[in-house]
Amino acid sequence: MTPPAGWQARESLLLAPYAMHAADSAGRVHLEPPHPIRSPYQRDHDRIVHSSAFRRLAHKTQVFTGYLGDYHRSRLTHTLEVTGIARTLGRGLALNEDLVETLALAHDIGHPPLGHAGEDTLDELLADEGGFNHNAQALRIMELLETRYPDFSGLNLSREILEAQAARVKGRPAAGIRPAAAPLLETQVVDAADSIAYDTHDADDAIELGLVALEELLELPLVAEAAARAADRYGPLDGIDRRRAVIHELVDMQAGDLIKQSQAALARLGIDSVASVRSQQTAAGQPLRIVTHSPQVAAGKKDLEAFLFRKVYRSKRVMGVRLAAQAKLSRLFHWYCAHPDSVAPSYRERVTTVGLQRSVADYLAGMTDRYLEWDYDRRV
Residue in 32, 59, 24 with CA at minimum distance from that of residue 366? 59
Does pLDDT of 190 surpass 60?
Answer: yes
pLDDT bin (cut points 50, 70, 90) of residue 5 is: low
119-134 average pLDDT score: 96
Q: What integer pLDDT is reported at residue 65 of this predicted model?
A: 61
Q: Are 372 and 60 in contact (CB under 8 A)?
A: no
H-only helix segments in the chain? 5-14, 40-49, 52-56, 75-92, 97-106, 115-125, 134-140, 159-167, 185-208, 214-217, 221-234, 239-269, 274-278, 295-308, 316-338, 345-348, 351-354, 356-365, 369-379
Q: What integer pLDDT is reported at residue 67 of this predicted model?
A: 53
Does pLDDT of 64 surpass 70?
Answer: no
Gap between the Cα atoms of 343 and 326, Å rounded: 20
302-306 average pLDDT score: 97
Q: Are 226 and 253 in contact (CB under 8 A)?
A: yes
For the chain, percent of residues with pLDDT exceeding 70: 93
CATH of residue 310's domain is: 1.10.3210.10
Q: What integer pLDDT is reported at residue 1 of this predicted model?
A: 52
- For 109-119, write each residue's pLDDT tens digit: 999 999 889 99
239-260 average pLDDT score: 97
pLDDT bin (cut points 50, 70, 90) of residue 236 is: very high
248-268 average pLDDT score: 98
Q: What integer pLDDT is reported at residue 20 of this predicted model?
A: 98
- For 85-106, write each residue's pLDDT tens digit: 999 999 999 999 999 999 999 9
- For 192-235, write each residue's pLDDT tens digit: 999 999 999 999 999 988 899 999 999 999 999 999 999 999 99
- For 65-80, write each residue's pLDDT tens digit: 655 456 668 899 999 9
Q: Which residue range forms the structural domain that includes residue 350? A: 5-379
Beta carbons within 8 Å of 363's beta carbon, 6+ residues apart? 336, 343, 344, 347
Residue in 221, 195, 205, 191 with CA at minimum distance from that of residue 313? 205
Q: What integer pLDDT is reported at residue 314 of this predicted model?
A: 87
**What's the total number of domains in the chain?**
1
- For 157-170, write each residue's pLDDT tens digit: 999 999 999 988 87
31-45 average pLDDT score: 94
Q: What integer pLDDT is reported at residue 86 of this predicted model?
A: 98
Does pLDDT of 126 surpass 70?
Answer: yes
Gap between the Cα atoms of 16 and 14, Å rounded: 7
Q: What integer pLDDT is reported at residue 181 of this predicted model?
A: 86
- β-bridge partners, 287: 281
Does pLDDT of 30 surpass 70?
Answer: yes
Q: What integer pLDDT is reported at residue 69 of this predicted model?
A: 55
Beta carbons within 8 Å of 359's beta carbon, 6+ residues apart? 340, 343, 347, 348, 350, 351
